[in-house]
């Protein structure tokens, strides 16, 4: 009898506790769903960002390949060296070969007749075996990416290069 009355006495507060815990549980479940969704969104954003960075990085690398490795300017007048296959712009190539030539003649005391000059690739120092070849396909891509150079710019570039170094003597 006394047990029954005890149960009757605690039931209302136990009920309140159960209700309160149930409410709390519902609220936590809602929070959990909210944060799970938020977490999922952030993960998606992060992945998209990484993928985008990767794309930007790839484009940067491609654009880099269209620049002269020496002066870092768009390689409008690209020449390929035989046989290491390095590609360099006409002006940098002319300047470098001219420096090699003057160094050679300085070392040989200006004895032009008996001392043919050996030229080396400005990038890898491998001997240049034949006159460098213009890379027209690459120049076409450079035109598309960086915009076509004007005839005036092209003339000026070539005049500077040819003024510096005579490719016919190679």
Sites of contact with Zn ion (CB under 5 A): 68, 70-71, 84, 86, 89, 92, 121, 123-124, 126
- Beginning with the edge strand found earlier in the chain, give each strand of the sheet holding 78-82 in spatial order: 87-89, 78-82, 130-134
For the CB of residue 121, give the shortest distance to Zn ion in the complex, in Å: 3
Q: Which is nearer to Zn ion, 84 or 160 (CB)?
A: 84
Nearer to Zn ion (CB atom), residue 125 or residue 152: 125
Residues 84/126, Cβ–Cβ less than 8 Å:
yes
Least Å from the CB of residue 142 to Zn ion: 12
In the numeric block, which tokens belong to residue 70? Answer: 């020496």
Closer CB to Zn ion, residue 13 or residue 128?
Answer: 128
Contacts of 49 (CB under 8 A, 6+ apart): none
Q: At its nearest, how many Å lie between Zn ion and the CB of residue 129?
A: 11
Burial 26-43 (b: 16+ CB within 10 A, else e): eeeeeeeeeeeeeeeeee
Closest CB to Zn ion among residues 20, 126: 126
Task: Give min distance, CB of 50 to Zn ion, in A.
Answer: 34
């Amino acid at each position: 009898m006394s047990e029954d009355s005890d149960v009757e006495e605690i039931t209302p507060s136990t009920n309140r506790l159960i209700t309160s815990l149930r409410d709390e549980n519902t609220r936590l479940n809602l929070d959990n769903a909210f944060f799970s969704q938020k977490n999922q969104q952030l993960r998606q954003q992060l992945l998209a960002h990484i993928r985008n960075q990767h794309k930007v990085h790839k484009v940067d690398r491609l654009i880099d390949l269209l620049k002269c490795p020496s002066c870092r300017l768009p390689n409008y007048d690209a020449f390929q060296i035989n046989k290491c296959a390095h590609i360099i712009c006409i002006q940098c190539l002319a300047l470098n070969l001219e420096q090699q030539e003057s160094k050679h003649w300085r070392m040989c005391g200006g004895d032009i007749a008996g001392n043919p000059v050996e030229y080396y690739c400005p990038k890898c120092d491998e001997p240049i075996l034949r006159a460098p070849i213009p890379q027209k396909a690459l120049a076409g891509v450079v035109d598309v990416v960086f915009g076509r150079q004007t005839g005036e710019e092209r003339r000026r570039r070539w005049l500077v290069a040819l003024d510096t170094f005579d490719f016919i003597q190679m």
